[in-house]
Structure 1
Amino acid sequence: MSRFRERLQRWLLARLPLEERCELSQRRIYLLPTRFGLLLLAVGLAVWVGALNYQVSLAYALAFWIVSLVLVAVLMAYRQLSGLRLRAEPGAAVFAGDPACFRLVLENPSALQRQLQVHLQGDDRRLPCGLAGQGSGSVELTLPTSGRGWLALPACVVASEAPFGLIRAWAVLRLQSRLLVYPALLPDAARGGSEGDGGSGGRSRPGGDDFSHLDAYRHGDTPRQIAWKVLARRDVLTSKRFASESGGDLTLIRWSDYGAEADAERRLSRMAWRVEQCERRQQRYRLSLPDDEIGPQPRQREQALSALALFGGRP
């Protein structure tokens, strides 16, 4: 990419507002001829020059027909984007290194059928999206992740060359949407303690069938664990946790366990791995950070991983 094009893109993005929803209007839509459109215009110019030299009426008609076709293509391409409504929805939180997913929702308030292409700014992968009249659709946008913290949706481009492929209409959008990226998982089975009766360490000891708390449904939960009354009353799928599942001991995941680890990011990655291990084994655990502590509670996994992702005031 040339320096001029990079500067032009930075200038364009700097003047775009950050919006939750966007409706494309005349001021947001750009129009330029495609290569095929430029070629057709060149042919029309050559035919017109020939008509001037030889005074051929049919050549005049052909030249003016070509120009009229390009002008109609400008209007038709503009109509593909005019009035289109867009919003972005974030996907689920991911671990650093995994692809993040955003959902771009497009609404067509008119009766015109639209043939669109959507892609992220700087990404050549164009995703087709067809919208029926008075209909809506969505496109899944994925982008790589490298570090923990909040990940904002980059600028998006919505374009169309329909119906003739002579004119390209496009609009650049900055939609307000972000998702949380957890620290990358780094295996660490050597550290960690547990507290139980008398503070002795060791593995979890099974308790009884006493109810502990309600938690979000996880794939693999048995029908016995599902809170059917909550499902019938609130239409929310939740699972019951019992003392026999979590054990009597409490696994400690402490920041102080890594006193010799100088890299804070590696500490957080190891702690995130231990949180995931406790969740998979259905063990009770407590996450202890210098500025926060998260004990057994509903949705503990999300709160613990979010605390690790935002540790140190990470934006």
Structure 2
Amino acid sequence: MLPFRDRFRHWWLARLPLQNRCELTQRRIYLLPTRFGLLLLAVALAVWVGALNYQVSLAYALAFWIVGLALVAVLMAYRQLSGLVVSAEAGAPVFAGDPAGFRLRLDSPQPQARQLSLHLLGQDDALIPCVFDGHGGEAVLAVPTTRRGWLALPPCVAQSDAPFGLIRAWAVLRLNARALVYPAPLPDASRGAGEGDGGEGGDARPGGDDFSHLDAYRHGDTPRQIAWKVLAQRDTLASKRFVGEAGSALRLIRWSDYGQETDAERRLSRMAWRVEQCERQRQRYRLCLPDAEIGPQPRQRDLALAALALFGSRG
């Protein structure tokens, strides 16, 4: 039974379009009774059978009242999802092994209170309530990561059984959003941050005033380091780096440093760890890959880790 269900789910998901924005219409919303709803309908059936046998008018009224309540629950549950427009955007890049956050935004054409929740398809026990203020709401889905590269948002489900808990309205969403996953840093004890790593240039000269390059502003930079002209022209904080700063000797993080390492993923993880070490200690470095080279520049960390994450891929 499980293989058939998996094949049916795969066929069904393949028929759903991949969309940037998904509007929940009558064609996208499904309705099924909950366990409590099935139990209540069974009670209504039993009461109706008893009313047939004993001709009790109040029993007829109770049975029809329960059925009427179920019909109202169908309309109310459908109303919780009807007309919603759902879109998704990825959060900040993460390292492999950490959950990637996808922010789902729900917009409503009509201001009305709604009660619904979101979860990834197949994870019914991980419901995330969506705070809805009448015009819109949002929720963050945490998607587990296992490998580097682009991670597409898996199919997710919007559902609601409000207000009675008798009928569950649900819709499956395939939204076009992806997050970047960096290689998981793997400590490289043989090439610590204190080694030269094939660095170029002489040792740091305390108090040197030779300008090196512009870099993104970091908390703790002195006013002398701030590039005031860049701030005035672009309204962006940037810092000037000088040759005489501590750790200004250029460190090389090279693919060829791991010639004896046969696993490419371990190579990338070790290089990601060295990039993080250089960033923490504010050391100038250059990342050298067979297909890319990233030297000191603004946003170097993001560019270097992205190059490691997408190494060998075309997307």
Counterpart of 2:270 in structure 1 is: 270
C-alpha spacing 1:228/1:44, structure 2 compared with 1 (3 Å): farther
Question: Is 1:78–2:83 an aligned residue pair?
Answer: no
Question: Is 1:47–2:47 an aligned residue pair?
Answer: yes
Q: Indicate the SS of the match to 1:114.
A: coil
Counterpart of 2:194 in structure 1 is: none
Kept after mapping to 2: 8 A contact 1:116/1:159: yes
Provide the rounded CA distance (Å) in 1 between the counterparts of 2:87 and 2:54. Answer: 56
Counterpart of 2:131 in structure 1 is: 130
Kept after mapping to 2: 8 A contact 1:230/1:236: yes
Question: Is 1:3–2:8 an aligned residue pair?
Answer: no
> TM-score scaled by structure 2?
0.90
Counterpart of 2:15 in structure 1 is: 15
Offset of 1:223 from its aligned partner?
5.5
Matched residue type, 1:85: V
| Deviates most, 4-13 or 173-182 | 4-13
Question: Is 1:196–2:201 an aligned residue pair?
Answer: yes
Question: Is 1:257–2:257 an aligned residue pair?
Answer: yes
Kept after mapping to 2: 8 A contact 1:77/1:167: yes
Kept after mapping to 2: 8 A contact 1:206/1:248: no
C-alpha deviations, 1:71-98, integer Å up to 9, x for none? 1100000000001111111111111122
Kept after mapping to 2: 8 A contact 1:207/1:247: no
Provide the rounded CA distance (Å) in 2 between the counterparts of 1:179 and 1:216. Answer: 23
C-alpha deviations, 1:172-229, integer Å up to 9, x for none? 10111111111111112434210115xxxxx544563454444334444455545566
Matched residue type, 1:195: E
C-alpha spacing 1:130/1:293, structure 2 compared with 1 (3 Å): closer
Matched residue type, 2:7: R
Matched residue type, 2:201: G
C-alpha spacing 1:33/1:217, structure 2 compared with 1 (3 Å): farther
Q: Indicate the SS of the match to 1:169.
A: strand
**Cα root mean square deviation, aligned:** 2.3
Q: Indicate the SS of the match to 2:138.
A: strand
C-alpha spacing 1:131/1:70, structure 2 compared with 1 (3 Å): same
C-alpha spacing 1:6/1:310, structure 2 compared with 1 (3 Å): same
Unpaired stretches in structure 2, ≥5 consecutive residues? 192-196
Question: Is 1:163–2:163 an aligned residue pair?
Answer: yes
Unpaired stretches in structure 1, ≥5 consecutive residues? 198-202
Offset of 1:306 from its aligned partner?
1.0
C-alpha deviations, 1:211-266, integer Å up to 9, x for none? 44443344444555455665566554444434344655311111111111111111
State the percentage of identical aligned residues.
74
Counterpart of 1:60 in structure 2 is: 60
C-alpha spacing 1:284/1:169, structure 2 compared with 1 (3 Å): same
Provide the rounded CA distance (Å) in 2 between the counterparts of 1:66 and 1:87. Answer: 37
Provide the rounded CA distance (Å) in 2 between the counterparts of 1:220 and 1:139. Answer: 34
C-alpha spacing 1:88/1:302, structure 2 compared with 1 (3 Å): same
Provide the rounded CA distance (Å) in 1 between the counterparts of 2:23 and 2:224. Answer: 48
Matched residue type, 2:127: R
Q: Indicate the SS of the match to 2:49.
A: helix
Kept after mapping to 2: 8 A contact 1:149/1:314: no
Offset of 1:13 from its aligned partner?
1.3
Provide the rounded CA distance (Å) in 1 between the counterparts of 2:138 and 2:245. Answer: 40
C-alpha spacing 1:179/1:237, structure 2 compared with 1 (3 Å): farther
Kept after mapping to 2: 8 A contact 1:252/1:287: yes
C-alpha spacing 1:149/1:36, structure 2 compared with 1 (3 Å): same
- Aligned pairs for 1:1-315 (under 5 A) are 2-123=2-123, 124-134=125-135, 136-191=136-191, 192-196=197-201, 203-206=203-206, 208-222=208-222, 225-227=225-227, 234=234, 236-245=236-245, 248-313=248-313, 315=315
C-alpha spacing 1:227/1:9, structure 2 compared with 1 (3 Å): farther
Q: Indicate the SS of the match to 2:87.
A: strand
Provide the rounded CA distance (Å) in 1 between the counterparts of 2:294 and 2:4. Answer: 50
